[in-house]
Amino acid sequence: MALSIGIVGLPNVGKSSLFNLLTQKGVEAANYPFCTIDPNVGIVKVPDERLEKLAVISQPKQIIPTAIEFVDIAGLVAGASQGEGLGNKFLAHIRECDAICEVIRDFKDKDIIHVNNKIDPENDKETINLELILADLATVEKRLTGLKKESRSGDKQIAAQVLILERIFQHLSASRAVRELDFNENEAPFVKSLCLLSAKPIIYLLNIDDTYDGGERLKGANEQILSINIKTEEEIAALPIDEQAEFIQELGLERSGLDRLIAAAYRLLGLDTFFTTGPDETRAWTIKRGTKAPEAAGVIHTDFIKGFIRAEVIQWDKFIASGSEVKAREAGLIRTEGKEYVVKDGDVCHFLINR
């Protein structure tokens, strides 16, 4: 399942530095606006201690984690929706992503310029969000104009779409993001087809420094806001792997900020992980929450959906506590599930397929 997170924000807020850390790719992070001309794409392994523990039991030839794609998109500025800066070209890159990570500067450094010459996280947040809303307004207005003409034919489906667009247009006109609206199961496919920027789920990443006191910098009680010191994350990444965990503990953290970001991205997209394990490989697979067994099997191979017979399922912790698959079977812990079973996060699955 290819899922992508677009990293956006004003110039010089730490986007490319974050991308470098996430992907370990040498992306330029220069001290001037628009140094990132083309979007850089990196595939990031999702850290999951359950995978490693399962591998200890199965002793596979290889371990394959699941992954998320991060896209580093050039800095946006006020007026981007009208073509300012590098403008619409980069708004198009955001449309292709499943979700957005908006990096907001809350660190002081006289050697790194701020495009607005002041550190104001809330204002920066609103600047980016307004540009996304304005771009959506233009998209909706254009589509609405066309459909209103078509609706004269009396087509009920088109008439319904006009009503949806009018509702969205009014909401956007009040400078509010489309993600705040609720759509029923009949409306949702049409709304998704519009590829609206402000409809995408979003994480706000506050790039802090050592002076951060933990106080509230951004409004939005129901929004996902992470405070991460990217400079400290760079120090962690520079250490040998076996020393990183110790340094993280010395900082009083349970895990790195990058791991927290990746986990938050998973929650934001409504994703779960199931596992397959055996002597050849122990592997993590990504599914949308609520996926039934045949569709989960289809993530492994699309032919498995049609040929699905049943699934043998056990939760990962029970598998590990058993010590082996054989002992888990002897203890009756491996269940047989049919086509209506909803695969849970942490399930270890073996699918029986009619080939």
d(CA 309, CA 315): 20
Q: How far apart are the first and last CA of the chain?
A: 23
233: Cβ contacts below 8 Å, ≥ 6 apart:
18, 21, 256, 257, 258
Cβ atoms of 100 and 199 within 8 Å: the answer is no
Strand partners, 228: 207
- d(CA 298, CA 351) in angstroms, rounded, equals 10
Predicted TM-score (pTM) of the model is 0.81
Task: For 213-246, give the DSSP string.
Answer: -S---S--TTSEEEEE-HHHHHHHHHS-HHHHHH
Q: Structure tokens of 169?
A: 């247009």
Delineate the domains of the chain, giving CATH numbers in brackets.
Answer: 290-353 (3.10.20.30)
Q: What is the pLDDT of residue 279?
A: 94
pLDDT of residue 187: 94
Tell me if 40 sits within 8 A of 71, measured CB to CB.
yes
Q: At what angle do helices 241-250 and 230-238 cross, to 10 degrees?
A: 140
3-class secondary structure, 72: strand
Tell me the three state secondary structure of residue 46. Answer: coil
Note the pLDDT of residue 242.
Answer: 83
Q: What is the pLDDT of residue 47?
A: 83
Confidence (pLDDT) at 319: 97
| 241, 316, 320, 328, 331 from 323: Cα distances, Å | 28, 11, 5, 8, 11
Whole-number pLDDT of residue 335:
96
DSSP H stretches of helix in 29-120 = 49-58, 88-95
Per DSSP, which regions of 34-112 are E strands? 40-45, 62-64, 67-72, 99-106
pLDDT tens-digit profile, the chain (355 residues): 567 898 888 888 888 888 888 876 433 444 334 444 455 788 888 888 999 999 999 999 999 988 888 888 766 555 544 544 444 555 777 888 899 999 998 887 776 766 666 778 888 898 888 988 998 999 999 999 999 888 888 888 999 999 999 999 999 999 999 999 999 999 999 999 999 999 999 999 999 888 877 777 777 656 788 888 999 888 888 888 888 888 888 888 888 888 888 888 888 888 999 999 999 999 999 999 999 999 999 999 999 999 999 999 999 999 999 999 999 999 999 999 999 999 999 999 999 998 7
The number of CA neighbours under 13 Å toward the Cβ of 18 is 33
